[in-house]
Amino acid sequence: MNWQNGLTVVLALLLIVVLVNYVYFQNETRKLFAATQSIEKEKLDLNAEWARLQLEKSTLVANNRIEQVAREELNMKLPEDEQVLVIVR
């Protein structure tokens, strides 16, 4: 009889430990899930920003813009055929 009582007590204690653990990890899970959610969100935002920057870059380096800046602001032009010197080794 005695050893049976002992076992019950041990099992009861074990159960309490397990339940406390369960609650603890449940809480952990929630925290981690919240963290993944915010990271996912951040990833989406960063992706969106990357794409936006890519677009911005591609408009900045658009050939017609470069041509316009080179010709109008920097006063550059293509050399005439007569102005080209060919280097021969």
Nearer to another protein, 9 or 32 (CB): 32
8 vs 37, beta carbon nearer another protein: 37
Residues 6+ apart with CB under 8 A from 71: 77
Shortest Cβ 66–another protein spacing (Å): 9
Distance between CA atoms of 11 and 4, rounded to whole angstroms? 10
Residues making contact with another protein (CB under 8 A) = 29-30, 33, 36-37, 44-45, 47-48, 51-52, 54-55, 58-59, 61-64, 81-82, 84-89
Tell me which long-range contacts 38-42 makes (C-beta under 8 A, separation of at least 24): none
If the CB atoms of residues 1 and 87 are measured against another protein, the closer one turns out to be 87
- Is residue 77 within 8 Å of residue 71, measured between CB atoms? yes
